[in-house]
Amino acid sequence: MSVPHPPSHAGKRGHVRAHILRGIECGLWPVGAMLPAESSLCAELGVSRHTVRAALADLQSMGLVASHQGVGTRVLRRKPELTPSHSLQNISELALYARNTMVRILGVKDVTLDEATAEWIGAGAGETWCMARTLRTAADQDAPIVLSSVWVPQASKPAIEASGRSGLPVFIEVQRLHGRMVSEVRQVIGISIATREQATLLRCKTREPLLRIQRWYYGHQRALLEVTDSLHPQDRFQYAVTLRHVSSGGITQSSPHQE
């Protein structure tokens, strides 16, 4: 199944968000100014009040604006706080990072795992999993920040379709679908080289180095819920890690802490 375009609500929400971002950045609405009323934005852009409010909520979570009931929405800064360097300290912030982006599902297919793929995923050879390819773009950028392969057990396939509608990460929709929380995420960070196809999708140069982040999402009793393999262009995404000393039994250890 191929889903070449974002669903209507996600697309309209992203359009409103991008329209306001452009207005803020070009000085149409300078820092300290009030944005147009929701009703004015609805009329100008041809969208519902619900869509406008969702877009404003995204901008508020990015630290760009502040909304006050009965007063309106005031511009706080011209640039988002999280772009281009995204701060990820826990599982919840993976969801916040995705909230500040727009997703496009390139395609979805069922895959019978061969031995090599099953070993990489951590599943059994011969099992059927669902694999989707997605592109995410930051709300204030045109070029994508990440190309991902998302793998879930076949029973979780509806979560991928739900992610395309909501724009939320697939793991959030997996939690909603099955009522099981993600309790642990294992990450492996490395480097990859852009193929011609990847370079075309990411709008970068062929053979350009890419930041590769692989994630395994686990639920209760380490049940594997999802695996992702993501490629980031080097100039559009940064991943910082702070190491802190943790004392245990008189021995000083270093404990990784993402930021």
Structure-block tokens of residue 23: 């207005």
pLDDT at 88 over 80: no
How large is the average pLDDT for residues 137-151?
88
Is the previous residue joined to 84 through a cis bond, with omega within 30 degrees of 0?
yes
pLDDT at 253 over 60: no
> Three-state SS across the chain?
CCCCCCCHHHHHHHHHHHHHHHHHHCCCCCCCCECCCHHHHHHHHCCCHHHHHHHHHHHHHCCCEEEECCCEEEECCCCCCCCCECCCCCHHHHHHHHHCEEEEEEEEEEEECCHHHHHHHCCCCCCEEEEEEEEEEECCCCCCCEEEEEEEEHHHHHHHHHHHHHCCCHHHHHHHHHCCCCCEEEEEEEEEECCHHHHHHHCCCCCCEEEEEEEEEECHHHCEEEEEEEEEECCCCECCEEEEEEEECCEEEEEEEEC
Every domain of the chain with CATH number 3.40.1410.10 lies at 91-243
Query: CB neighbours of 88 closer than 8 A, spacing ≥ 6?
Result: 94, 97, 239, 258, 259
The values of phi and psi at residue 132, to 5°, are -120, 145
How long, in residues, is the chain? 259
The DSSP bridge partners found for residue 74 are 34, 66
Query: d(Cα 207, Cα 6) in Å, to the nearest integer?
Result: 29
In this structure, which topology does domain 8-75 adopt according to CATH?
A: Arc Repressor Mutant, subunit A (1.10.10)
- Residue 142 pLDDT grade (very low, low, confident, very high; cuts 50, 70, 90): confident
pLDDT at 169 over 80: yes
Return the ∠ at Cα 123 (arms to 122 and 124), rounded to 5°: 135
- Give whole-number Cα distances, 113 to 98, 107, 120, in Å: 28, 18, 10
pLDDT at 203 over 90: yes
pLDDT at 7 over 70: no
The whole-number pLDDT of residue 95 equals: 63
pLDDT at 89 over 70: no
Contact indicator for 215, 121 with CB cutoff of 8 Å: no
CATH architecture group of domain 91-243: 3-Layer(aba) Sandwich (3.40)
Contact indicator for 37, 48 with CB cutoff of 8 Å: no
Query: d(Cα 62, Cα 122) in Å, to the nearest integer?
Result: 35
The whole-number pLDDT of residue 82 equals: 42
Q: What is the pTM of this model?
A: 0.62
Q: 111: closest CA among 95, 96, 125?
A: 125
- Identity of residue 164: G
How large is the average pLDDT for residues 228-237?
89
Query: CB neighbours of 68 closer than 8 A, spacing ≥ 6?
Result: 74
Lowest-pLDDT choice from 47-51, 102-106, 139-143, 195-199: 139-143
- Residue 39 pLDDT grade (very low, low, confident, very high; cuts 50, 70, 90): very high
